[in-house]
Amino acid sequence: MSNLDKSLAAFLKQRRGEMTFAQFSRLTGLPVSTLFRLENNHQSITLSTLESLMKRLKVSLNDVFPPKGTGAAVVPSKRSAAKSKP
C-alpha cells in the first residue's frame, strides 16, 4: 500500500475513535466492510468515494492527507519541482 493509503487508514482510525464500525458506517455512508478494509490497508479508496467521505465528515483534503512535515506525503506540483532543479 502507498503512503497515501497509510495516511487515510490513520485518519479513519483516529476519526472513528471509540465508535464501532457500524456507527462509523452510518456517519460516513460507507459499508462496514469497506471501512474495515480501508483502515487495515486492504483496499485503496477511489476519488469519488474519497470525495463523498470528506463531504460526510466535513473535512478537507489537508485534514485527510496533512501537508509535508506532519506525517503524510505530499506530491509537489510540476511547477515547484521544476524550480528546485539546478
| Per-residue pLDDT tens over the stretch 18-39 | 999 999 999 999 999 999 999 9
**pLDDT, average across residues 74-85:** 45
- 61 C-beta neighbours (distance < 10 Å), count: 10
**66 membership: H or E segment, kind and range:** none
Please name the fold of domain 3-83.
Answer: 434 Repressor (Amino-terminal Domain) (1.10.260)
**pLDDT, average across residues 39-58:** 96
Helices (H), the chain: 3-16, 21-28, 32-39, 47-57, 61-64, 78-83
Is the pLDDT confidence value at 81 over 80? no
Is the pLDDT confidence value at 82 over 70? no
Mean pLDDT of the chain: 85
CB 8 within 8 A of CB 64: yes
Can you give the length of the chain in residues? 86
Is the pLDDT confidence value at 74 over 50? no
